[in-house]
Amino acid sequence: MTVEIRVPVLGESVTEATVGQWFKKVGESVAKDEPLLELETDKVTLEVNATEAGRLEEIVVAEGEDVEVGALLGQITEGAAGSAPEAAKEEAEEKPAATPAPAAKAEPAPATSSTAATKVDVLPAAQKLIDENNLDASKIQGTGKDGRITKGDVLEALENGGASPAAPAAAPAAAPVSAPAAPSGPRAEEAREERVKMTRLRKSIAARLKEAQNTAAMLTTYNEVDMAAMLDLRTEYKELFLKKHGVKLGFMSFFTKACVAALQEIPAVNAEIDGEDLVYKNYYNMGIAVGTDSGLVVPVLRDADKLSFAEVEKGIGALGKKARDGKLSMAELQGGTFTITNGGVYGSLMSSPILNPPQAAVLGMHKIQERPMVIKGEIKVRPMMYLALTYDHRIIDGKEAVTFLVRVKDALEDPQRLLLDL
């Protein structure tokens, strides 16, 4: 019996994907629920698993081609012989033992296995990072299925210094051979330009940002926050907080709670336009912008008003890790009502964030910098942060936007109010 492999439902508003990599070749055995291929959408990368055990009979769509939901990707022929990949391995291992062979014929075997050992199976998203950062894939430990290198493995290697640049590693061996050819020269000119096809995620980001500019009446209002009280509170309780909750007390929980309180007071900032209607949301799903090597993604922390400080920190931490590892689900990227983006982690002093449609507003955090401030007639050095609120003027009036940002400022400068729900 033949079983069809089709593109699954990809999520709300997602109708197309790109075939990233086939994990199996035609004729190979597959087990039930074993990953067959990888699909890249404009939001996430996901695996398509075998619904039945058998043998991969046909690949209809090659790597790199675009497909729509429901499209035929390939076919599996059901059969007991393909029910377990291990059976094929055992069969291959048994053949040498069953057929006596002279020692001379056995010699090529080590060379073959040695060559195979040098091959590293890398998933497409991981390969892109490896190429961009000039890493040596053989020095990265793969944690994916069958030792495949995932995007998360590459990111971890970059953070921990676990992978060495490919060029320096290869230099000693290559030097004696390449030395005579060095005068030929023009190779240095080849790297002056590089043309790379935009990823589906990058194309989606570009389209959404342009849509926001073309559709919304965007305006940005600014304010600044004295972060001294929050820094003092965090310093006083961070060790106790970590010991009790198992997570660090960061800034994002304070900003999330401050924004939720301000949204509850100014409902228009938590609204959106749907045709000729204004839709006011009585729930608070906070989009937390995360920069990854593939581009900006905005996972959603749901019902933030019902979460404690510790739950907010844990939730944001988990979403951020998934985003960097490329493991976010479609559901985790949908349903946000307001977004917070932190350019300060990259050193930005001030910027004007762009809306995340269909949301009506986005808050931009920035770098904390000591500046001289006049306080009660005296000049004092204070740790200050600029805040920027970009909003859709079609929904939110200037008074509402300014009031919202002032409420956020007041809550952050007196964080006890957040803890006491005042």
Neighbours of 195 (CB within 10 A): 4
CA–CA distance, 175 with 194 (Å, rounded to integer): 26
CA–CA distance, 10 with 329 (Å, rounded to integer): 10
Residues labelled catalytic: 393, 397
Q: Are 34 and 49 within 8 A, CB to CB?
A: yes
Region for residue 380 given its phi and psi (left: phi exceeds 0; alpha: psi -120 to 50; beta: otherwise): beta
Q: Are strands 54-59 and 2-6 parallel, antiparallel or unpaired?
A: unpaired
3-state secondary structure of 76: strand
| Residue 336: partners with Cβ closer than 8 Å, 6 or more residues away | 285, 286, 287, 298, 300, 356, 359
The token duo for 18 is 């790109």
H or E segment at 32?
none
3-state secondary structure of 40: strand
* Max Cα-Cα span within the chain: 96
CA–CA distance, 269 with 340 (Å, rounded to integer): 13
CA–CA distance, 314 with 166 (Å, rounded to integer): 36
Beta-bridge partners for 68: 16
